[in-house]
């Protein structure tokens, strides 16, 4: 049995595209036949759940019952990949909670695969976030995601300063999410379906629909580039570790 993987998608800043990245990850693992579940921490109304209602649960990550719902079920859940879309402003707090419950320690021991997708904004504050997050994350798989989907220019960043932060984190990898045509993005939003369903001309219930071929083409091309980034950082290899472990002991 493969050990479970937890992927935290977050940023301390809002509007940087966390949920979009979480959606691409769910689609990516789906395409690789990797059973996945997701938790949307935008409690009580989750955006992620709107797109992936069948495998997403909205939780309040600050409440202990919901923390139990996520972490006590890691070993028993059918899905071996758990994606947590962390609400804006809660990344540091969530990481702290994971430290407190010993989760990060378990990850450090290799009993759980843990990854953080840190979505970066354009401001200097984002760089400070990197340092702060890196301090807590330690040896986890740490991905710094430059998300250009919302036209972020990263104009405030001095490459030298960025690199100095980037290099502080052992094994950190950079992922680039390219820009998606605005109208295509909006149409997927309106359709409220996963990107892959939109590309496949399918509605929320899998029924045949009639989205614009051009917009589907834009989304397909963009999603292919995003998945190309995930392939580059060997995401599938990360969630399918060769060493097995007894997760029930960890969770218990």
Partner 1 sequence: MSFRSSITIVASPRPRVGKTLLARLLTDFHLHEGRLVTAFDLNAGERTLAQFLPDKTTAASVRDVNGQMALFDHLVAYEDITKIIDVGHEAYEAFFSLAQNIGFVDEARRRSIAVAILFMVAPDHTSVTAYRSLRERFTHATLAPVHNEILGPAQHRDKYPLAAGGPGVVRMAALAPGLRRYIETPPFSFADPRIADPTRIPDSAYAELERWLRRIYLEFRELDLRILLADLRSSIKFSSHSQ
Distance CA 106, CA 111 (A): 5
Residue count at the site for partner 1 (CB under 8 A)? 12
Among residues 8, 91, 215, 226, which is the contact residue for partner 1, using CB under 8 A?
215
Residue 212 found at the interface with partner 1 (CB under 8 A): yes
How many CA within 13 A on the CB side of residue 202?
A: 12
Residue 216 found at the interface with partner 1 (CB under 8 A): yes
Both tokens of residue 20? 């979009």
Among residues 174, 217, 228, 234, which is the contact residue for partner 1, using CB under 8 A?
217
- Kind of pairing, strands 5-10 and 113-120? parallel
What residues from 174 to 203 belong to the interface with partner 1 (CB under 8 A)?
181, 183-184
Among residues 157, 165, 218, 230, which is the contact residue for partner 1, using CB under 8 A?
218
- Rank residues 71 and 227 by Cβ distance to partner 1 and give the closer one: 227
Piece in contact with partner 1 (CB under 8 A), picked from 49-57, 82-90, 189-197, 210-218: 210-218
Binding mask 25-54 for partner 1 (x = CB under 8 A): ------------------------------
Both tokens of residue 95? 């990481």
- Rank residues 85 and 229 by Cβ distance to partner 1 and give the closer one: 229
Distance CA 67, CA 55 (A): 17
Q: How far is CA 196 from CA 56, 133, 182, in A?
A: 16, 31, 17
H/E stretch holding 40 reads strand 36-40
The vertex-51 CA angle with 215 and 201, nearest 5°, equals: 35
Tell me the closest approach of the beta carbon of residue 222 to partner 1, in angstroms: 9
Distance CA 21, CA 72 (A): 25
- Rank residues 190 and 243 by Cβ distance to partner 1 and give the closer one: 190
Catalog residues that contact partner 1 under the rule CB under 8 A. Answer: 181, 183-184, 212-218, 220-221
């Amino acid at each position: 049995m493969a050990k479970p993987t937890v992927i935290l998608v977050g940023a301390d800043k809002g509007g940087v595209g966390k949920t979009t990245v979480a959606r691409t990850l769910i689609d990516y693992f789906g395409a690789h036949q990797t059973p996945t579940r997701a938790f949307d921490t935008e409690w009580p109304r989750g955006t992620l759940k709107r797109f992936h209602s069948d495998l997403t649960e909205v939780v309040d990550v600050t409440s202990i019952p919901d923390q139990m719902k996520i972490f006590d079920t890691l070993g028993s859940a059918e899905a071996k990949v758990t994606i947590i879309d962390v609400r804006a402003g809660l990344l540091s707090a969530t990481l702290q909670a994971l430290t407190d419950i010993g989760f990060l320690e378990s990850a450090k021991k290799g009993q759980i695969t843990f990854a953080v997708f840190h979505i970066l904004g354009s401001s200097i504050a984002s760089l400070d976030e990197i340092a702060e997050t890196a301090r807590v994350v330690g040896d986890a798989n740490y991905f710094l995601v430059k998300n250009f989907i919302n036209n972020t220019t990263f104009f405030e960043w001095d490459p030298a300063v960025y690199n100095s932060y980037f290099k502080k984190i052992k094994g950190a990898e950079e992922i680039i999410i390219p820009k998606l045509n605005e109208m295509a993005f909006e149409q997927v939003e309106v359709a409220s379906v996963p990107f892959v369903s939109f590309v496949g001309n399918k509605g929320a219930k899998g029924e045949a629909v009639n989205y614009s071929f051009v917009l589907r083409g834009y989304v397909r091309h963009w999603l292919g580039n995003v998945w190309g980034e995930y392939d580059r950082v060997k995401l599938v290899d990360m969630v399918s570790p060769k060493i097995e472990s007894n997760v029930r002991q960890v969770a218990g």
